[in-house]
A and B are shown apart, each in its own frame.
Chain A
Amino acid sequence: MAQFYPGTSQVAQNRRNFTDPDYELEKLREISDEDVVKILGHRAPGEEYKSVHPPLDEMDEPDCVVRELVAPIDGAKAGDRIRYIQFVDSMYFAPAHPFLRARSYLNRFRGVDTGTLSGRQVIEARERDVERISKELLETEYFDTARTGIRGKSVHGHSLRLDEDGLMFDMLRRQVFNKETGIVEMVKDQIGRDLDEPVILGEPLDENTLKEKTTIYRIDGEAYKDDKDAVEVLHKIHITRSFGAYNPEAGW
């Protein structure tokens, strides 16, 4: 059995859930295909996919064992452009966080490239696959409308204080809180261009649910030092790596 993450805490369990491709993540909201396209901002809804090469079937490909072994993803088959979606996860109990996203993306999706920074996580793939993946990322536990931001540019906010209504700070105000309905709406696409109609993302999760769902160890939630198993494994990795890398003959 694959071992994804050590630890006995709820945070560790949530991390295992995200990284295990067989675990079905809870679906929290519905976002239509058209709304996903609007949020991404790579093409207008209904517009044809632009392509960078002819469909694979029409191309004269060289004889290659790997090409025979690996089934191309839909976008590659059609010759789509590479496009992306990028998320920011607040350190205030966001459901996912960048490193975990990287591990789970690579375990769950084929034909993607992902890049991790301290507060942001980008995923790149062929356009129609990015749309399919984005829909999954936005509808499931990966996303909370208040603590996760969809930010293609001006990517910031993960370590900033939250707004009074619980939203992560965004200087471009892409996701805004509708005071009348208590629902978060997206009024700009991921790089901050105005949308004609706001996309309704849904109600933010409450603080207790977030604390149950989070994958972030925090001293005011579940502290890392209290998760003895996880610390022990980390310690072991640290020692083996140090001795193994610097002086394998010394032993320990």
Chain B
Amino acid sequence: MDIEIFPHRVLGSDTTEKILNDLESLEDVRRTVIQGPRFPNEDTLPAKYRERRVIQVNGENITLKVKTGRIFVELTMESTIDEIEKICEKYISFGFDINQSRTNYIRKQRTVSDNLKYGEMDLPDELIGMTDQYSKFDEHVSIIKKDDLD
């Protein structure tokens, strides 16, 4: 099952980093998609104004491409939602909704666009629905190894 975390304000990089780290630490969370408005080209801006930066999730570097407007999370057990709610309460001070009204927030079936993009190749199930169909795959997906230490 999927859920959608909908913060009442668009999250900055720092909060996104904290939330993603805590979400990834949950055993039950399989996939996470962040969706939102894309960062502008900030090359000409002085550092103090920049919002786009490299965040670390589970020790791996991810270059954020978007500001976090929504977080889709795929999980298996309903009880995980309570834990996610606690994480959100910790970091999102201005309110949020957790929506479960749809069964799928992350697409699970291959589509014609996928076929056009990847041809006949075998696409692993966990990668279906992870990309924006208008962009290149490696620009938008970061594969993070599960932290198996504890």
Bound-complex Cα distance A179 to B45 (A): 13
CB-based contact A163/B10 at 8 Å? yes
CB-based contact B37/A171 at 8 Å? yes
Q: Given A163-B67, A178-B49, A179-B48, does the pair A171, B40 have CB atoms closer than 8 Å?
A: yes
| 10 contacts across the A-B interface (CB closer than 8 A) | A161-B69, A163-B12, A163-B67, A164-B12, A166-B9, A169-B37, A171-B37, A173-B42, A179-B48, A179-B49
CB-based contact A164/B11 at 8 Å? yes
- Tell me, yes or no, whether B15 is within 8 Å of chain A by CB: yes
Q: Given A161-B69, A171-B37, A176-B49, does the pair A194, B9 have CB atoms closer than 8 Å?
A: no
Q: Is the interface of A mostly helix, strand, loop or mixed?
A: loop
Q: Given A169-B37, A171-B40, A172-B40, does the pair A161, B9 have CB atoms closer than 8 Å?
A: yes
CB-based contact A164/B37 at 8 Å? no
Q: Which of A156-170 contact B (CB under 8 A)?
A: 161-166, 169
Residues in A neighbouring B37, C-beta threshold 8 A: 169, 171
> Shortest CB–CB separation between residue B11 and chain A, in angstroms?
5
- Tell me, yes or no, whether A187 is within 8 Å of chain B by CB: yes
Binding site for B on A (CB under 8 A): 161-166, 169, 171-173, 176-180, 185, 187, 194
> Shortest CB–CB separation between residue B71 and chain A, in angstroms?
14
CB-based contact A178/B48 at 8 Å? yes
Partner of B45, one of A162, A166, A187: A187
Q: Which of B2-17 contact A (CB under 8 A)?
A: 7-12, 15
Binding site for A on B (CB under 8 A): 7-12, 15, 37, 40, 42, 44-45, 48-49, 67, 69, 94
Partner of B15, one of A164, A173, A179, A180: A164
CB-based contact A164/B10 at 8 Å? yes
7 cross-chain pairs, A with B, having the tightest CB-CB distances, nearest first: A164-B12, A176-B49, A162-B9, A161-B10, A164-B9, A180-B48, A163-B10
Partner of B44, one of A169, A176, A194: A194
Q: Is the interface of B mostly helix, strand, loop or mixed?
A: loop
Name the residue among B10, B11, B12 with the largest chain A CB count within 10 angstroms. B10
Number of residue pairs spanning A and B whose beta carbons lie under 8 angstroms apart:
40
The residue of chain A having its C-beta at the shortest distance from the C-beta of B92 within the complex is A164
> Shortest CB–CB separation between residue B106 and chain A, in angstroms?
21
Bound-complex Cα distance A162 to B58 (A): 28
The residue of chain B having its C-beta at the shortest distance from the C-beta of A207 within the complex is B94
> Shortest CB–CB separation between residue B73 and chain A, in angstroms?
19
Bound-complex Cα distance A179 to B69 (A): 20
> Shortest CB–CB separation between residue B81 and chain A, in angstroms?
22
> Shortest CB–CB separation between residue A201 and chain B, in angstroms?
13
Residues in A neighbouring B12, C-beta threshold 8 A: 163-165
Extra 5 A-B pairs, beta carbons < 8 Å, given A177-B49, A178-B48: A161-B8, A163-B9, A164-B94, A169-B10, A176-B49
The residue of chain A having its C-beta at the shortest distance from the C-beta of B6 within the complex is A161
Name the residue among A161, A162, A164, A185 with the largest chain B CB count within 10 angstroms. A164
Bound-complex Cα distance A178 to B42 (A): 14
> Shortest CB–CB separation between residue A221 and chain B, in angstroms?
15
Residues in A neighbouring B8, C-beta threshold 8 A: 161
Bound-complex Cα distance A173 to B48 (A): 13
Bound-complex Cα distance A162 to B15 (A): 15
Bound-complex Cα distance A180 to B12 (A): 15
> Shortest CB–CB separation between residue A170 and chain B, in angstroms?
9
Residues in B neighbouring A185, C-beta threshold 8 A: 49
> Shortest CB–CB separation between residue B8 and chain A, in angstroms?
7
Residues in A neighbouring B67, C-beta threshold 8 A: 163
The residue of chain A having its C-beta at the shortest distance from the C-beta of B13 within the complex is A164
